[in-house]
Amino acid sequence: MKTNYLLPNRLKKIGWILFIPGIIIGILSLIYHPEISFFDIKVFAIAEDGIFKDANFFSTSKNNIMDEIICILLIIGALLIAFSKEKFEDEFISKIRLESLVWATYINYAILILAIIFVYDIAFFWALVFNMFTLLFFFLIRFNWALYKFKNQISDEE
């Protein structure tokens, strides 16, 4: 089926190449909080500190960019994996894709609403951090599970 909103299949592999190191480094840095001075560089900030009052706009400052790198690896990697075409993308797979995306959006926001009600302060900040990635993660899990079931369905071929 012709679609103009999906990426070519070969980008899926590149997605995994970005995503796997991203998730490994991400988990390790959550556990060990390394401060690697190699990543301390001067960055340009559109905004920093408080957004409304006491904010600095269009300034430069020193920052450890390890977390920025991890976030970008995870987001771009997951996007490429999620939205590259399957080897054989037909209309049934498009249907699975759509269903999985709607399903992932429901689950993602259901969890976010629970977090809004039950999680506070810095823990809520971390809930928001995870929420940056969970929509894509839930989509990937649901889509690949549905795809697996589709490929292994019982055939009535005689």
Partner 1 sequence: MKNSIKVERAKKNITQAKLAELVNVSRQTINAIELGKYNLSTILALKIAHVFNQSVNYIFELEESDWKS
Under rule CB under 8 A, how many of the chain's residues touch partner 1?
13
Q: Which stretch binds partner 1 (CB under 8 A): 4-12, 25-33, 92-100, 114-122?
A: 92-100
5 binds partner 1 (CB under 8 A): no
Q: Is 25 exposed, middle or buried (0-12, 13-18, 19+ CB in 10 A)?
A: middle
Residue 46 is encoded by which pair of tokens? 């559109």
Tokens for 98? 């759509």
The single residue among 49, 95, 102, 132 that binds partner 1, judged by CB under 8 A, is 95
Is 157 among the residues that bind partner 1 (CB under 8 A)? yes
**How near is the Cβ of 119 to partner 1 at its closest, in Å?**
40
Nearer to partner 1, 67 or 89 (CB): 89
Asked if 148 interacts with partner 1 (CB under 8 A), we say no
Which residues, in sequence order, are bridge partners of residue 63?
41
C-alpha to C-alpha distance for 58 and 22, rounded to whole angstroms: 28
Q: Is 112 exposed, middle or buried (0-12, 13-18, 19+ CB in 10 A)?
A: middle
Single out the residue of 91, 117, 121, 122 in contact with partner 1 (rule: CB under 8 A). 91
Nearer residue to partner 1 within complex by CB, 37 or 155 = 155
Q: Give ∠ CA 24-124-115 in degrees, rounded to 5.
A: 100
Helix (H, G, I), strand (E, B) or coil at 128: helix
Q: Is 153 in the site for partner 1 (CB under 8 A)?
A: yes
Q: List residues near partner 1 by CB under 8 A.
A: 1, 88, 90-93, 95, 150-151, 153, 155-157
